Protein backbone atom coordinates (compact mmCIF):
# COMPACT_ATOMS: atom_id res chain seq x y z
CA UNK A 1 0.00 0.00 0.00
CA UNK A 2 1.35 3.45 -0.96
CA UNK A 3 1.49 6.11 1.73
CA UNK A 4 0.38 9.48 0.34
CA UNK A 5 1.46 12.86 1.69
CA UNK A 6 1.15 16.49 0.62
CA UNK A 7 3.34 19.50 1.30
CA UNK A 8 3.88 23.06 0.13
CA UNK A 9 7.56 22.50 -0.72
CA UNK A 10 9.16 19.15 -1.46
CA UNK A 11 12.95 19.01 -1.24
CA UNK A 12 14.58 16.11 -3.10
CA UNK A 13 17.95 15.57 -1.42
CA UNK A 14 19.20 16.44 2.06
CA UNK A 15 22.74 17.71 1.41
CA UNK A 16 23.80 21.31 2.18
CA UNK A 17 21.71 22.85 -0.62
CA UNK A 18 18.55 20.91 0.20
CA UNK A 19 18.96 21.35 3.95
CA UNK A 20 19.51 25.10 3.58
CA UNK A 21 16.42 25.45 1.40
CA UNK A 22 14.41 23.42 3.89
CA UNK A 23 15.66 25.42 6.88
CA UNK A 24 14.93 28.84 5.40
CA UNK A 25 11.52 27.79 4.04
CA UNK A 26 10.47 26.10 7.29
CA UNK A 27 11.70 29.08 9.31
CA UNK A 28 9.39 31.26 7.25
CA UNK A 29 6.47 29.08 8.29
CA UNK A 30 6.03 27.01 5.14
CA UNK A 31 5.14 23.33 5.07
CA UNK A 32 8.34 21.55 3.95
CA UNK A 33 9.15 17.87 3.40
CA UNK A 34 12.69 16.61 2.71
CA UNK A 35 13.41 13.20 1.19
CA UNK A 36 17.02 12.03 1.65
CA UNK A 37 18.10 8.68 0.22
CA UNK A 38 20.59 7.86 2.99
CA UNK A 39 20.53 7.96 6.76
CA UNK A 40 22.68 10.57 8.48
CA UNK A 41 25.51 10.71 9.13
CA UNK A 42 26.76 9.53 5.76
CA UNK A 43 30.07 10.15 4.06
CA UNK A 44 30.64 12.32 1.00
CA UNK A 45 33.96 12.87 -0.83
CA UNK A 46 34.78 16.49 -0.07
CA UNK A 47 37.63 18.79 0.89
CA UNK A 48 35.79 19.50 4.19
CA UNK A 49 36.80 23.18 4.09
CA UNK A 50 34.39 26.07 4.57
CA UNK A 51 35.36 29.45 3.15
CA UNK A 52 34.47 32.64 5.03
CA UNK A 53 31.43 33.00 2.77
CA UNK A 54 30.23 29.55 3.82
CA UNK A 55 30.91 30.30 7.49
CA UNK A 56 28.84 33.47 7.11
CA UNK A 57 25.93 31.46 5.70
CA UNK A 58 26.06 29.12 8.69
CA UNK A 59 26.12 32.06 11.08
CA UNK A 60 23.05 33.50 9.35
CA UNK A 61 21.32 30.15 9.83
CA UNK A 62 21.84 30.45 13.59
CA UNK A 63 24.58 27.82 13.79
CA UNK A 64 27.35 30.00 15.20
CA UNK A 65 27.46 28.16 18.54
CA UNK A 66 27.24 24.71 16.96
CA UNK A 67 30.35 25.30 14.83
CA UNK A 68 32.30 27.26 17.42
CA UNK A 69 34.63 24.34 18.20
CA UNK A 70 35.45 23.51 14.56
CA UNK A 71 39.06 23.93 13.48
CA UNK A 72 39.69 27.52 12.36
CA UNK A 73 41.56 28.27 9.15
CA UNK A 74 43.43 31.56 8.85
CA UNK A 75 43.93 31.33 5.11
CA UNK A 76 45.61 29.54 2.26
CA UNK A 77 49.22 28.48 1.82
CA UNK A 78 49.91 28.47 -1.93
CA UNK A 79 52.83 26.32 -3.04
CA UNK A 80 54.37 25.94 -6.49
CA UNK A 81 57.82 25.54 -8.04
CA UNK A 82 59.57 25.23 -4.69
CA UNK A 83 58.03 28.39 -3.22
CA UNK A 84 55.22 28.98 -0.72
CA UNK A 85 53.24 32.03 0.30
CA UNK A 86 50.71 32.21 3.13
CA UNK A 87 47.71 34.37 2.25
CA UNK A 88 45.21 35.18 5.02
CA UNK A 89 41.52 35.40 4.22
CA UNK A 90 40.62 39.04 3.44
CA UNK A 91 39.60 40.90 6.57
CA UNK A 92 37.49 43.52 4.80
CA UNK A 93 35.18 41.45 2.62
CA UNK A 94 32.12 41.80 4.83
CA UNK A 95 32.36 38.10 5.71
CA UNK A 96 33.84 36.32 8.76
CA UNK A 97 37.61 36.59 9.02
CA UNK A 98 38.19 32.84 9.06
CA UNK A 99 37.34 29.57 7.42
CA UNK A 100 36.69 26.21 9.07
CA UNK A 101 37.35 22.54 8.42
CA UNK A 102 34.44 20.25 9.27
CA UNK A 103 33.96 16.71 8.03
CA UNK A 104 31.02 16.43 5.66
CA UNK A 105 29.15 13.75 7.64
CA UNK A 106 29.17 16.12 10.62
CA UNK A 107 28.18 19.18 8.58
CA UNK A 108 25.43 17.46 6.60
CA UNK A 109 23.79 15.95 9.67
CA UNK A 110 24.02 19.28 11.51
CA UNK A 111 22.30 21.10 8.64
CA UNK A 112 19.56 18.55 8.15
CA UNK A 113 18.78 18.31 11.88
CA UNK A 114 18.70 22.11 11.98
CA UNK A 115 16.13 22.14 9.18
CA UNK A 116 14.11 19.56 11.09
CA UNK A 117 14.26 21.65 14.25
CA UNK A 118 12.94 24.61 12.24
CA UNK A 119 9.85 22.62 11.35
CA UNK A 120 10.71 20.70 8.19
CA UNK A 121 9.56 17.07 7.94
CA UNK A 122 12.71 15.05 7.19
CA UNK A 123 12.47 11.51 5.86
CA UNK A 124 15.86 9.83 5.70
CA UNK A 125 16.26 6.53 3.91
CA UNK A 126 13.61 7.59 1.40
CA UNK A 127 14.84 6.98 -2.15
CA UNK A 128 13.07 9.03 -4.77
CA UNK A 129 12.35 6.90 -7.82
CA UNK A 130 10.60 9.23 -10.26
CA UNK A 131 8.72 12.50 -10.57
CA UNK A 132 4.93 12.61 -10.70
CA UNK A 133 3.88 14.37 -13.90
CA UNK A 134 0.22 15.25 -14.44
CA UNK A 135 -0.84 16.97 -17.68
CA UNK A 136 2.75 18.02 -18.30
CA UNK A 137 3.31 19.54 -14.85
CA UNK A 138 5.47 18.32 -11.96
CA UNK A 139 3.23 17.41 -9.01
CA UNK A 140 5.66 15.66 -6.66
CA UNK A 141 7.51 12.36 -6.56
CA UNK A 142 7.29 8.66 -5.93
CA UNK A 143 9.74 7.14 -3.47
CA UNK A 144 10.55 4.00 -1.49
CA UNK A 145 10.97 4.38 2.26
CA UNK A 146 13.34 2.18 4.24
CA UNK A 147 11.72 2.67 7.63
CA UNK A 148 14.76 4.37 9.19
CA UNK A 149 14.37 7.56 11.20
CA UNK A 150 10.93 9.04 10.53
CA UNK A 151 10.55 7.69 6.99
CA UNK A 152 7.81 5.09 6.62
CA UNK A 153 8.70 1.76 5.05
CA UNK A 154 7.40 0.97 1.59
CA UNK A 155 6.06 2.99 -1.37
CA UNK A 156 5.59 6.72 -0.86
CA UNK A 157 3.79 9.34 -2.90
CA UNK A 158 4.53 12.96 -2.00
CA UNK A 159 2.65 15.70 -3.80
CA UNK A 160 3.76 19.31 -3.55
CA UNK A 161 3.03 22.76 -4.94
CA UNK A 162 6.73 23.41 -5.47
CA UNK A 163 9.84 21.23 -5.64
CA UNK A 164 13.49 21.92 -4.81
CA UNK A 165 15.81 19.59 -6.71
CA UNK A 166 18.93 18.98 -4.61
CA UNK A 167 19.90 15.44 -5.54
CA UNK A 168 23.59 15.94 -6.20
CA UNK A 169 25.88 16.09 -9.24
CA UNK A 170 24.25 13.21 -11.14
CA UNK A 171 20.77 14.60 -10.39
CA UNK A 172 18.57 11.82 -11.76
CA UNK A 173 15.44 13.74 -10.71
CA UNK A 174 16.58 16.88 -12.52
CA UNK A 175 17.56 14.90 -15.61
CA UNK A 176 14.08 13.38 -15.70
CA UNK A 177 12.72 16.95 -16.02
CA UNK A 178 15.15 17.90 -18.77
CA UNK A 179 18.11 19.47 -17.00
CA UNK A 180 21.50 18.80 -18.59
CA UNK A 181 25.15 19.74 -18.11
CA UNK A 182 26.89 21.61 -20.89
CA UNK A 183 29.86 19.50 -21.93
CA UNK A 184 31.67 22.55 -23.25
CA UNK A 185 32.30 23.63 -19.65
CA UNK A 186 35.06 22.20 -17.52
CA UNK A 187 34.17 19.56 -14.98
CA UNK A 188 36.23 18.85 -11.90
CA UNK A 189 37.36 15.39 -10.81
CA UNK A 190 38.75 14.88 -7.34
CA UNK A 191 39.98 12.16 -4.99
CA UNK A 192 40.58 12.57 -1.28
CA UNK A 193 41.57 10.48 1.73
CA UNK A 194 42.31 11.04 5.41
CA UNK A 195 45.77 10.70 6.93
CA UNK A 196 46.96 10.69 10.50
CA UNK A 197 48.67 14.03 10.92
CA UNK A 198 50.79 15.52 13.71
CA UNK A 199 50.18 18.97 12.26
CA UNK A 200 46.39 18.67 12.27
CA UNK A 201 46.03 22.03 14.08
CA UNK A 202 47.95 24.02 11.47
CA UNK A 203 45.97 27.22 10.77
CA UNK A 204 46.62 27.08 7.01
CA UNK A 205 45.08 24.92 4.35
CA UNK A 206 47.67 24.19 1.68
CA UNK A 207 47.21 23.90 -2.08
CA UNK A 208 50.10 22.81 -4.26
CA UNK A 209 49.81 23.95 -7.87
CA UNK A 210 52.44 21.66 -9.31
CA UNK A 211 50.65 18.54 -10.51
CA UNK A 212 52.41 16.73 -13.35
CA UNK A 213 51.64 13.92 -15.73
CA UNK A 214 54.13 11.29 -16.86
CA UNK A 215 55.70 13.57 -19.47
CA UNK A 216 56.40 16.19 -16.80
CA UNK A 217 53.84 18.66 -18.15
CA UNK A 218 52.07 20.65 -15.42
CA UNK A 219 48.38 19.85 -15.16
CA UNK A 220 45.38 22.16 -14.55
CA UNK A 221 44.60 21.26 -10.99
CA UNK A 222 46.12 21.09 -7.54
CA UNK A 223 46.93 18.83 -4.65
CA UNK A 224 45.83 19.77 -1.17
CA UNK A 225 46.42 19.13 2.51
CA UNK A 226 43.67 20.48 4.77
CA UNK A 227 44.26 20.08 8.54
CA UNK A 228 41.13 18.92 10.34
CA UNK A 229 42.05 19.69 13.96
CA UNK A 230 41.09 16.15 15.02
CA UNK A 231 44.39 14.33 14.55
CA UNK A 232 43.90 13.98 10.80
CA UNK A 233 44.33 15.86 7.55
CA UNK A 234 42.15 15.74 4.45
CA UNK A 235 44.55 15.04 1.58
CA UNK A 236 43.41 15.12 -2.00
CA UNK A 237 43.92 16.06 -5.60
CA UNK A 238 41.65 17.83 -8.05
CA UNK A 239 41.90 18.00 -11.82
CA UNK A 240 39.98 19.86 -14.50
CA UNK A 241 38.50 17.60 -17.14
CA UNK A 242 37.78 19.25 -20.47
CA UNK A 243 38.56 19.47 -24.15
CA UNK A 244 42.35 19.73 -23.64
CA UNK A 245 42.56 15.97 -23.11
CA UNK A 246 42.75 15.50 -19.35
CA UNK A 247 39.85 13.03 -19.42
CA UNK A 248 42.37 10.24 -20.05
CA UNK A 249 44.19 10.95 -16.76
CA UNK A 250 42.86 8.88 -13.88
CA UNK A 251 42.56 10.97 -10.67
CA UNK A 252 43.27 7.80 -8.68
CA UNK A 253 46.67 7.49 -10.38
CA UNK A 254 47.32 11.17 -9.86
CA UNK A 255 46.45 10.80 -6.18
CA UNK A 256 49.10 8.09 -5.76
CA UNK A 257 51.67 10.41 -7.36
CA UNK A 258 50.53 13.31 -5.22
CA UNK A 259 50.96 11.39 -1.96
CA UNK A 260 54.64 11.01 -2.84
CA UNK A 261 54.95 14.75 -3.49
CA UNK A 262 53.25 16.13 -0.36
CA UNK A 263 55.45 18.90 1.13
CA UNK A 264 57.80 17.53 3.77
CA UNK A 265 56.51 19.98 6.38
CA UNK A 266 53.43 17.81 6.85
CA UNK A 267 55.50 14.72 7.71
CA UNK A 268 53.04 12.40 5.99
CA UNK A 269 53.62 9.13 4.17
CA UNK A 270 51.55 6.28 2.80
CA UNK A 271 51.50 4.44 6.14
CA UNK A 272 49.49 7.30 7.63
CA UNK A 273 46.55 6.63 5.29
CA UNK A 274 43.23 6.00 7.05
CA UNK A 275 40.77 4.11 4.88
CA UNK A 276 40.42 4.03 1.12
CA UNK A 277 40.53 7.17 -1.05
CA UNK A 278 37.16 8.32 -2.41
CA UNK A 279 36.30 10.67 -5.23
CA UNK A 280 33.79 11.95 -7.69
CA UNK A 281 32.94 14.47 -10.39
CA UNK A 282 32.12 18.13 -9.79
CA UNK A 283 29.88 19.96 -12.29
CA UNK A 284 31.22 23.52 -12.26
CA UNK A 285 30.51 27.06 -13.26
CA UNK A 286 26.68 26.93 -13.50
CA UNK A 287 27.07 24.29 -16.19
CA UNK A 288 23.57 22.82 -15.69
CA UNK A 289 20.53 24.37 -17.37
CA UNK A 290 17.70 25.04 -16.93
CA UNK A 291 17.84 25.73 -13.22
CA UNK A 292 14.11 26.34 -12.84
CA UNK A 293 10.77 25.35 -14.31
CA UNK A 294 7.11 26.22 -13.79
CA UNK A 295 7.11 24.99 -10.19
CA UNK A 296 10.64 23.73 -9.52
CA UNK A 297 14.15 25.02 -8.91
CA UNK A 298 17.53 23.29 -8.98
CA UNK A 299 20.16 23.99 -6.32
CA UNK A 300 23.74 23.09 -5.38
CA UNK A 301 25.63 20.38 -7.24
CA UNK A 302 22.47 19.45 -9.15
CA UNK A 303 22.67 22.94 -10.69
CA UNK A 304 26.40 22.66 -11.45
CA UNK A 305 27.14 25.37 -8.88
CA UNK A 306 30.66 24.30 -7.84
CA UNK A 307 33.22 27.10 -8.16
CA UNK A 308 35.46 26.58 -11.21
CA UNK A 309 38.24 28.44 -9.39
CA UNK A 310 38.68 26.34 -6.26
CA UNK A 311 36.17 23.49 -6.34
CA UNK A 312 34.11 24.92 -3.46
CA UNK A 313 30.62 23.50 -3.58
CA UNK A 314 29.36 24.09 -0.04
CA UNK A 315 29.04 27.89 -0.11
CA UNK A 316 27.16 27.96 -3.44
CA UNK A 317 24.93 25.17 -2.13
CA UNK A 318 24.03 27.10 1.01
CA UNK A 319 23.48 30.28 -0.96
CA UNK A 320 21.39 28.53 -3.64
CA UNK A 321 19.21 26.92 -0.99
CA UNK A 322 18.61 30.20 0.77
CA UNK A 323 17.69 31.97 -2.45
CA UNK A 324 15.40 29.12 -3.51
CA UNK A 325 13.53 29.32 -0.20
CA UNK A 326 13.04 33.07 -0.57
CA UNK A 327 11.72 32.82 -4.12
CA UNK A 328 9.42 29.90 -3.32
CA UNK A 329 8.17 31.73 -0.25
CA UNK A 330 7.15 34.70 -2.39
CA UNK A 331 5.49 32.36 -4.88
CA UNK A 332 3.46 30.75 -2.10
CA UNK A 333 2.51 34.08 -0.59
CA UNK A 334 1.40 35.58 -3.91
CA UNK A 335 -0.02 32.36 -5.30
CA UNK A 336 1.94 32.97 -8.49
CA UNK A 337 4.44 30.46 -9.87
CA UNK A 338 5.82 33.15 -12.19
CA UNK A 339 7.84 34.32 -9.17
CA UNK A 340 10.19 31.41 -9.90
CA UNK A 341 11.52 33.28 -12.91
CA UNK A 342 13.31 35.45 -10.39
CA UNK A 343 15.45 32.50 -9.26
CA UNK A 344 17.45 32.29 -12.49
CA UNK A 345 17.71 36.09 -12.66
CA UNK A 346 18.99 36.33 -9.09
CA UNK A 347 21.52 33.55 -9.65
CA UNK A 348 22.85 35.34 -12.71
CA UNK A 349 23.03 38.65 -10.87
CA UNK A 350 25.00 37.12 -8.00
CA UNK A 351 27.22 34.64 -9.77
CA UNK A 352 27.16 34.91 -13.57
CA UNK A 353 30.23 37.12 -14.00
CA UNK A 354 32.14 35.16 -11.37
CA UNK A 355 31.31 31.85 -13.02
CA UNK A 356 31.95 33.20 -16.51
CA UNK A 357 35.40 34.39 -15.48
CA UNK A 358 36.05 31.04 -13.81
CA UNK A 359 34.98 29.10 -16.91
CA UNK A 360 37.28 31.15 -19.11
CA UNK A 361 40.12 30.68 -16.62
CA UNK A 362 39.69 26.90 -16.71
CA UNK A 363 39.76 26.94 -20.51
CA UNK A 364 42.97 28.98 -20.49
CA UNK A 365 44.63 26.80 -17.86
CA UNK A 366 43.94 23.74 -19.96
CA UNK A 367 46.30 24.98 -22.66
CA UNK A 368 49.67 23.17 -22.55
CA UNK A 369 52.34 25.15 -20.73
CA UNK A 370 50.08 28.01 -19.66
CA UNK A 371 49.40 26.60 -16.18
CA UNK A 372 53.14 26.49 -15.49
CA UNK A 373 53.72 30.06 -16.64
CA UNK A 374 50.80 31.44 -14.63
CA UNK A 375 51.76 29.68 -11.39
CA UNK A 376 55.39 30.75 -11.74
CA UNK A 377 54.29 34.35 -12.05
CA UNK A 378 51.72 34.21 -9.26
CA UNK A 379 53.87 32.50 -6.64
CA UNK A 380 56.58 35.17 -6.98
CA UNK A 381 54.26 38.06 -6.19
CA UNK A 382 52.55 38.22 -2.82
CA UNK A 383 50.24 40.98 -3.98
CA UNK A 384 49.18 38.94 -7.00
CA UNK A 385 48.62 35.92 -4.75
CA UNK A 386 46.42 38.00 -2.45
CA UNK A 387 44.35 39.35 -5.33
CA UNK A 388 44.03 35.87 -6.80
CA UNK A 389 42.77 34.63 -3.43
CA UNK A 390 40.16 37.40 -3.27
CA UNK A 391 38.85 36.89 -6.77
CA UNK A 392 38.91 33.08 -6.76
CA UNK A 393 37.15 32.89 -3.36
CA UNK A 394 34.61 35.55 -4.37
CA UNK A 395 35.70 37.68 -1.42
CA UNK A 396 36.11 41.07 -3.06
CA UNK A 397 35.05 43.96 -0.88
CA UNK A 398 31.30 44.50 -0.78
CA UNK A 399 31.73 48.27 -1.18
CA UNK A 400 33.50 47.68 -4.50
CA UNK A 401 36.75 49.36 -3.46
CA UNK A 402 40.25 47.97 -3.10
CA UNK A 403 42.73 46.46 -5.53
CA UNK A 404 41.02 43.07 -5.54
CA UNK A 405 37.70 44.64 -6.53
CA UNK A 406 39.37 46.65 -9.32
CA UNK A 407 41.07 43.52 -10.66
CA UNK A 408 37.78 41.65 -10.52
CA UNK A 409 35.98 44.39 -12.47
CA UNK A 410 38.67 44.46 -15.15
CA UNK A 411 38.66 40.67 -15.41
CA UNK A 412 34.86 40.63 -15.67
CA UNK A 413 34.95 43.16 -18.50
CA UNK A 414 37.56 41.13 -20.35
CA UNK A 415 35.51 37.97 -19.78
CA UNK A 416 32.47 39.68 -21.24
CA UNK A 417 34.34 40.35 -24.50
CA UNK A 418 35.44 36.76 -25.03
CA UNK A 419 32.86 34.43 -26.56
CA UNK A 420 32.30 31.06 -24.92
CA UNK A 421 32.10 27.96 -27.04
Q: Are 236 and 224 in contact (CB under 8 A)?
A: yes
| Mean confidence (pLDDT) of the chain | 89
Kindly list the domain boundaries of the chain, sorted by start residue: 3-72+100-182+285-353
Query: What is d(CA 109, CA 127) in angstroms, rounded to the nearest whole number?
Result: 17
More confident residue, 224 or 218: 224
CATH class of 3-72+100-182+285-353: alpha beta
| Residue 198: pLDDT over 70 | yes
Give the rounded percent of residues in the chain with a pLDDT score beyond 90.
Answer: 67
Q: How far is CA 251 from CA 100, 257, 379, in A?
A: 26, 10, 25
Q: What is the pLDDT of residue 245?
A: 54
SS3 state at 190: strand
Q: Which long-range contacts (CB under 8 A, 24 or more apart) does 260-267 make?
A: 261/208, 261/210, 261/223, 262/208, 262/223, 262/225, 262/235, 263/79, 263/84, 263/206, 263/208, 263/225, 265/199, 266/197, 266/199, 266/206, 266/225, 266/233, 267/197, 267/198, 267/199
Q: How confident is the model at residue 414 (pLDDT cuts 50, 70, 90)?
A: very low
Among 110-119, 289-298, 318-327, 361-370, name the one with the lowest average pLDDT: 361-370
pLDDT in tens, 13-51: 999 999 999 999 999 999 999 999 999 999 999 999 999
Question: For residue 275, which of 190, 189, 195, 191 has the smallest C-alpha distance?
Answer: 195
Residue 396 has pLDDT above 80, yes or no: no
Under 8 Å between Cβ of 7 and 158: yes
CB–CB of 273/197 below 8 Å?
no
Percent of the chain with pLDDT over 70: 90
Range name among 179-183, 193-197, 381-385 with the lowest pLDDT average: 381-385
pLDDT score recorded for residue 94: 87
For 220-251, the pLDDT digits (tens) are: 889 999 999 999 999 999 988 754 555 567 88
CA distances from 62 to 56, 59, 118, 245 (A): 10, 5, 11, 45
pLDDT confidence bin for 403, thresholds 50/70/90: very low
Residues 6+ positions from 393 with CB-CB distance below 8 Å: 51, 52, 53, 89, 309, 310, 312
Per-residue pLDDT, averaged over 77-106, amounts to: 93
Q: What is the pLDDT of residue 170?
A: 95
Give the count of alpha carbons within 13 A of 176, CB side only: 19
Higher per-residue pLDDT: 415 or 26: 26
Which of these ranges, 210-214, 353-357, 377-381, 384-388, has the smallest mean pLDDT?
Answer: 210-214
Which helix (H) or strand (E) segment holds residue 33: the answer is: strand 32-36
pLDDT at 323 over 80: yes
Is 410's pLDDT higher than 80? Answer: no
User: What pLDDT is stored for residue 247 in this prediction?
Assistant: 59
Say if residue 196's pLDDT is above 50.
yes
Q: How far apart (Å, rounded) are the C-alpha atoms in residues 168 and 12?
A: 10
Amino acid sequence: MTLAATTDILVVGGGPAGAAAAYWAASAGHDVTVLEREAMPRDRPCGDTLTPRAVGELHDMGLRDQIADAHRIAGLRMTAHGRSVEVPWPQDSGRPDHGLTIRRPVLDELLLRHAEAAGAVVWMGAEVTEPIIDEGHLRGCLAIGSGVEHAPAGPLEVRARFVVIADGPLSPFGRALGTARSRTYAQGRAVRAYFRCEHHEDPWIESVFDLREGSGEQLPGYGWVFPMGDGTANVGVGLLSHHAGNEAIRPEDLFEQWVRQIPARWELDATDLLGEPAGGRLPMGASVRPRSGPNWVVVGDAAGSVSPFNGDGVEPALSNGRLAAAVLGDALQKGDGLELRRYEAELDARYDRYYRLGRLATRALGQPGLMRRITRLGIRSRRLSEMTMRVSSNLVREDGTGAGSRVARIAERVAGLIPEE
